[in-house]
Amino acid sequence: MPSEHQDIIDLLADKPYLKDLFLEVGVDSQLTQLLQELISVTDDSRPLNGQVISRSTIFERTERFIQCSKKVDEVDDTDDQGQLRQPTQFVPPLTKGQLIKAKFSAVGSELDREHFAIVWDAIPNRDSIQVIPTESMKNKIKETKHRFNIGKIRPLSLATAVCMEQITCISRKRIVKTEFTKQNIPVYLSSDQEKRIEEGIRVMLLNEESLLEHLIKNNLKFIPQFDNPAQQLTHLLRPLESKSYDKKVLTYRLYNDSTEYKITWVKTSLKKERRIRTIQSLANVIDTDTKDRITARNEIYQKMLETVIS
């Protein structure tokens, strides 16, 4: 007569390595509880955006979390002669503006898998560091106050977009790489790139008004005519350090820039909602197969000026 546990016996015969796992689960109640939780996992359907995060993806995220947790701390526990000593800080040292690659394990729509990130704050003897995740500035990415282009970070081949909405603190255990050149040396942002991120923090976290927000909210029957469109159209997502009016001329200054820029308000035939969408699209334009975003932005601007009422 076959045993009532014949299926288990057959399974162990086919996969003998499971025997040790069964024994571990049998004597460890916490492991048993964790296994029960894992067995209960199903696909995660998100009603607001229609996204479905599969069961296997959730398992992959869980595995990444465990892998990071198991990573041994890297500390300065040896001196220059290789002798053991009491550690005082983590290694390698990290500084503001440094590029790293880290392993994320998301819940829901949080950042997942390996991504480049910029160190924004790191205290030498603390495990937790503040980072700004990044991604390649691909054609379809719209620039907003939450995500914008800071240019190329060598040796990366594409321009980099910073994901301001994903600013977070991570454990150093999540770091998988800190050197990216053939010479195995760290990579850092330029001073201008750091300043651009600081401007982004002013707009997104400190709620300072950007040029785009000012143009959308004011003079609703008018549109902006820039003195220097090629330059000023790149200012839209940046915060205003100061602004003043002389009749219909707006004079403004940006942070880290002593230049005074001017915009003349001109009357438009555009209705309110169309006006808002048009001005917004100047900032959010994307690259296409036929034209880059700079060309597309200039075309939108010129078409907007065609609506001027003389």
**Any bridge partners for residue 131, and if so which?**
119, 168
Residues 194 and 228 in one domain: no
- Among 73-77, 82-86, 197-201, the range scoring the smallest mean pLDDT is 82-86
Q: Which domain holds residue 180?
A: 99-204
Which CA distances in Å does 96 have to 45, 111, 121, 124? 38, 21, 6, 12
pTM of the model: 0.88
Q: How confident is the model at residue 226 (pLDDT cuts 50, 70, 90)?
A: very high
For residue 3, pLDDT over 70 is answered with no
Flag whether 104 is in a domain. Answer: yes
**Where is the domain boundary, 179, 204, 229?**
204
Bond prior to 92 in cis (omega within 30° of 0)? yes
Confidence of residue 179 (pLDDT cuts 50, 70, 90): very high
Q: Are 151 and 193 in contact (CB under 8 A)?
A: yes
Query: 174: which DSSP letter?
Result: G
- Domain assignment of residue 141, yes or no: yes
Q: 133 and 182, same structural domain? A: yes
Least confident of 24-28, 202-206, 222-226, 293-297: 24-28
Identify whether residues 169 and 220 lie together within a single domain.
no
Which residues, in sequence order, are CB contacts of 238 under 8 Å at separation 6+? 196, 199, 203, 210, 211, 254, 255
Average pLDDT, the chain: 93
Structure tokens at 18: 């499971």
Residue type, 292: D
State the total domains in the chain.
2
The residue from 153, 182, 204 where one domain ends is: 204
The percent of residues in the chain predicted with pLDDT above 70, rounded, is 99
Tell me, yes or no, whether 261 and 179 share the same domain. no
> What is the CATH classification number for the domain harbouring 166?
2.30.30.110
* DSSP letters for 238-259: SBEEEEEEETTEEEEEETT---
Judge whether 2 lies within some domain. no
